Amino acid sequence: MASVGAPAEHTRMFSPLHRRMAATGSRYAILVLFGVITLYPFILVVSTGLRDPVSINVNPFALFENIRLATISDAWTLGGFGGYFKNTLLITVPTVAGTIVLSTMAGYALARIQFPGRNLIFFTFMLGLMIPFTSIMIPLFYELIDLGLFGSVWAVILPGIAGSAGFGVPLGIFLMRAFFQDLPNELAEAARVDGATEFQVFRKVMLPLAAPGIAVLGVLVFFQSWNQFLMPLLYLPGEENRPLSTGLYIFASGRVQDFELIAAGSVIMILPVIVIFLIFQRTFVKGVTAGALKG
Amino acid sequence: MAETKVATRPRPASRGRRRAIARRAGASTARGSELWTAALFIAPALALYILLMLIPFLNSVYFSLTDWNGATLAKNFVGLANYAEMLQDPQLYEAFRNNLVWIVIGTVVPVSVGLLLAMIMWSTPRFALVFRTLFFLPYLLPIVVVGLVWNWIYHPLYGVLNSFLELIGFDYLTRGWLADGDTALYAVLGAAIWSAFGFVTVLLFAGLQGVNTDVVDAAAIDGANWLQRARYVVIPAIAPVLTLVTSITLIGGFAVIDFIIVMTNGGPGNRTSVLGFYAYNQAFQRNSVGYGTAVSILITVLSLVAAVVFIKLREGGRERG
C-alpha cells in the first residue's frame, strides 16, 4: 500500500510544503464531498425510520427528530414487513443454495473434464450473461403460467437460478469454472491413482479447495437475489408470497404516505445486506471485481 | 436432455467424439466414468438454463412475429408487422431518445466520477479503504429503496434538494423534480448514478492496484503534473478496466426499467419512458404482448451489438498491449 503513495510523495521534493498540503487537502475535500453525497440518503432513511409518526407531518425529513425505536417494530408487525422478510428469506436461501450447487458441479465439469462439445456448452451458458432480463421477461411470464409456477415462490427461485435475472448459473459457472481451472492438478491425479472415482475426486479433493470461490459466489447471489425487484413484481403478484422489495414498493405506492413506516421497512430490508457486506467485505469486493474483471 | 448432448451427441464426424470413443474403447474405464460425471454434473444447470432462459429467449422472437394480446389461445402470425409499426411509433421514438440520454449521461457521469475518485484514493492512500467501503454502499441498496429515498430528496415541499437551493439563493430553480417533464428523466438518472458510481469506483480502484508506480514516479520526475500523469500514464495503463466498466454501464443502460417503474412509471406523459419500460408497458399494461416483445427484441439487438463492439474493443486493446 505504501508504494501507492509514491506519486504524491515525489511532488513533495519539488513543491513548497504549503502547495502540497493544499493539493492533498483538496483531494480529501473531494472525497469527503462525495462521502457526504453517499451517506445522506442512508442517514435520511435511518432517521425517518426512527421517527415518531405523531410529529412526522410537520417536516417528514428533518433528521433525527422525535426518535422512536418502536417505529421499526411497528413496520415489522403493522406494516407487514415481518412477513415480507420471511418470504424474502424463503426465496433467497434456495436461490443461493441452488445456484451454488449447480454452478459448482457444472463449473467443475467444464473446467476439469475433457469431453466433446465442452466449449459449445460453456459458450451457451455465457450467452446468458449477455441476454438482459428485459429481453425474456414477457415470454417467461406466460411460460411460468403454463408450468403452473406463476405466483409461487418457485416462479422467482427457478428463473433466478437459471440466470434469467442476471445472477444465476451463467455467472456462477463463469466464476467457478475459472476458479477450478486455477487449482493444481496434482492432488486430483494422486486421488485418482489411489482409486478414487470421479465423483470422489470432486467431493473429497476439489470441493474443499473451492470454498473461497463458493463464498464469493454465495455473497454475490445473496445480495442480488435479496434485492431483486422485477421478477417478484411480474411473477409474484399475490400478497402471501410477496418479498420485501415489492412489499415496500406497493406499501409506498399507497394513497397515504406513512413516511416513517416506509423508511422503517427500508431499514429492515437493507440491514441484512449491509451487515453481511461489512462482515464479508473482502469476499464481497472480490466477487464484484472478479465477476467483472476475470473475463 | 443434456446427457444426450454431452455423451452421445450424434455427430460421428466430430474429432472430440472420436477421441472419446477411442478413450472408452482403450480399456480406460476412468475415462468413461469421467464422461458420465461430466454429463451428470452439467445436466441440471443446463436443463434449467434451457427451460427458463433459452426457451423464453426463442419465444420472444416468436411472440414478436404475432399480434398476440396475451389472452386468446391462438397467436396470429403477422410477420414483421410489429417491426414495421415500430418505425412509425412516436412513443417508441420518444422512449428511444430518452434511452439515449440515459445511456450517455448514465455512462459518462459515473465513469468520470469513478475515475476521479479512484485516482484520488490511489494517490492518497490514507483512508482509501474507508472511502472504498463508503462509496460501495449505495451499490448494495435495492433499487426500490434507492428510488424511494430519492423521491424524498426530490420532494417538492420537504425535499432536501429544494431546501438546499433555497438556502444558497436559487429559489427560482425549486420544483417538483420528478413531476416536471423537463427535469424528471435527469432526476431519475441522478438516483441511478448515485447507486452506480461506487461500483465503477471500486472496479477502477482495483484496476489501479496493478499499475506500476515506478512509471508514474518517472513521469513526475520528468516534470509531468498531476493531470498529465493521469492522462498519459495512468489512464492508458488501466484502459482495459476502463473499457470494461464503460461497457457494463452502457449495456445495462439499454435494459434499464426498474428505476423508471419505481420512481415515475414513465411519466409525466412519456417523458421518462425508456425502451425497456415501453416494452413492459405495452406487454403488461396494454396487453400488446406481440408488440411489446418486438420492442424487447430491439433492446436485445442493441445490447448484443454493444456487447460485440465492446469485445472487439477489448481484443484490440489486448493485441496492442
Q: Which CATH fold would you assign to the domain A80-293?
A: MetI-like fold (1.10.3720)
- The band of A192, judged by pLDDT with boundaries at 50, 70 and 90, is confident
Does the pLDDT at position A143 exceed 50? yes
| Predicted local distance difference test score (pLDDT) of residue B21 | 46
B264 → chain A, closest CA residue: A253
Nearest to B53 among A40, A45, A136 (CB): A136
User: Which part of chain A is CATH 1.10.3720.10?
Assistant: 80-293
Q: Which residue, B121, B205, B112, B196, is CA-closest to A38?
A: B196
Q: What is the mean pLDDT of residues B194-213?
A: 90
* Band of residue B187 on the pLDDT scale cut at 50, 70, 90: very high
pLDDT of B37 reads: 86
- Does the structure show a pLDDT above 80 at A60? no
Q: Which chain B residue's Cα is nearest to A189? A: B30
For residue B24, pLDDT beyond 60: no
CB contact at 8 A, A227 and B143: yes
Report whether the peptide linkage leading into residue A243 is cis, meaning its omega lies within 30 degrees of zero.
no
pLDDT at A135 over 60: yes
Q: What pLDDT was estimated at residue A136?
A: 95
Helix (H) or strand (E) holding B237: helix B235-237
pLDDT of residue B319: 54
Q: Is B66 helix (H, G, I), strand (E, B) or coil?
A: strand
Per-residue pLDDT, B3: 37
**Test the A interface: residue of B130, B135, B145 with most A CBs within 10 Å:** B145
| Contact criterion met (CB < 8 Å) for B127 and A39 | no
Euclidean distance between CA atoms B153 and B169, whole angstroms: 18
Q: Is A51 helix (H, G, I), strand (E, B) or coil?
A: strand
**A292 — pLDDT class (breaks 50, 70, 90):** low
Stretch B41-55: mean pLDDT, rounded?
A: 97
Q: Cβ B160–A44 below 8 Å, yes or no?
A: yes
From chain A, the residues in CB contact with B194 under 8 A are 37-38, 41
**B49 with A169: Cβ contact below 8 A:** yes
Enumerate helices (H) and strands (E) in chain A, giving the number of each. Answer: 16, 0
pLDDT at A291: 64
Within 13 Å and on the Cβ side, how many CA atoms surround B296? 34
Dig out the grid coordinates for A221 from the structure.
447471489
B65 vs A258, more confident: B65
Query: CB–CB of B135 and A227 under 8 A?
Result: no
Q: Which of A117-131, A208-222, A246-260, B14-28 has the lowest mean pLDDT?
A: B14-28
Cβ contacts of B57 on chain A, cutoff 8 Å: 131, 135-136, 139
Q: Which chain B residue has the Cα nearest residue A227?
A: B142
Q: Find the residue in B nearest to A291 (Cα).
A: B203
* B282 to chain A: closest CA residue: A138
**What is each CA distance from B56 to A130, A132, A140, B5, B88, in whole angstroms?**
14, 12, 5, 20, 27
Contact A117, B5 (CB under 8 A): yes
Collect all residues of chain B within an 8 Å Cβ-Cβ radius of residue A6.
Answer: 213, 216-217
Cβ–Cβ of B133/A281 closer than 8 Å?
Answer: yes
Q: Which chain A residues are closer than 8 Å to B226 by Cβ?
A: 7, 11, 23
What's the grid cell of residue A122? 460453456
Is B45's CB within 8 Å of A106's CB? yes
Output the nine-digit C-alpha cell for A291: 465477476
Closest Cα in chain B, distance from residue A94 (Å):
14
CA–CA dist A27, B120 (Å, integer)? 6
In chain A, the residue whose alpha carbon lies closest to the alpha carbon of B216 is A7
Best CA proximity match to A49, nearest among A39, A34, A60: A60
Taken in order B25, B28, B33, B36, the sign of the CA dihedral is: negative
Mean pLDDT for chain B overall:
86
A228, A165 in Cβ contact below 8 A? yes
What CA–CA distance (Å, rounded) separates A82 from A73? 9
Q: Give the C-alpha distances (Å, rounded to integers) separating A224 from A37, A163, A231, A243, B136.
A: 24, 11, 12, 13, 14
> In a mutagenesis test of the B interface, which of A92, A101, A137, A226 is the best target, namely the one with the most B β-carbons within 10 Å?
A137
Q: In a mutagenesis test of the B interface, which of A4, A161, A260, A288 is the best target, namely the one with the most B β-carbons within 10 Å?
A: A4
Q: Is the pLDDT of residue A93 over 70?
A: yes
End-to-end CA distance of chain B: 42
Q: How far apart are CA B215 and CA A13, in angstroms?
A: 17
* Cβ contacts of B220 on chain A, cutoff 8 Å: 7, 10-11
State the pLDDT at residue A236.
96
Nearest to A260 by CA among A36, A38, A73: A73
Residue A109: is its pLDDT beyond 70?
yes
Q: 3-state SS of chain B: helix, strand, coil percent to 5?
A: 75, 0, 25
Average pLDDT, integer, range A105-126: 93
User: What value of ipTM does the predicted structure carry?
Assistant: 0.88
CB-CB contact of A169 with A103 (8 Å):
yes
Q: Of the candidates A41, A48, A143, which has its C-beta nearest B59's C-beta?
A: A143
Angular region, B176: left φ>0, alpha ψ -120 to 50, beta rest: beta
Query: Which whole number is the average pLDDT over B212-230?
Result: 84
B143-165 mean pLDDT: 92
**Statement: residue B98 has pLDDT above 50:** yes
Consecutive H or E run containing B122: helix B90-123
Sign of CA dihedral A293, B2, B3, B8: negative
Residue B183: name the closest of B163, B145, B146, B153 by CA.
B153
Q: How far apart are CA B276 and CA B256, in angstroms?
A: 6
pLDDT for res B312 = 82
Q: Which CATH class is domain B83-320?
A: mainly alpha
Which of A1-10, A120-129, A202-211, B110-119 is predicted with the least confidence, judged by mean pLDDT?
Answer: A1-10
Ordered by start, the domain boundaries in chain B are: 1-54, 83-320
- Whole-angstrom distance, CA of residue B296 vs CA of residue A274: 34
CB B150 within 8 A of CB B190: yes
pLDDT attached to residue B318: 57
CB atoms under 10 Å from CB of A94, counted, come to 18
SS3 letters for B143-211? Answer: HHHHHHHHHHHCCCCCCHHHHHHHHCCCHHHCCCCCCCCCCHHHHHHHHHHHHHHHHHHHHHHHHHCCC
Cβ A98 vs Cβ B44: under 8 Å: no
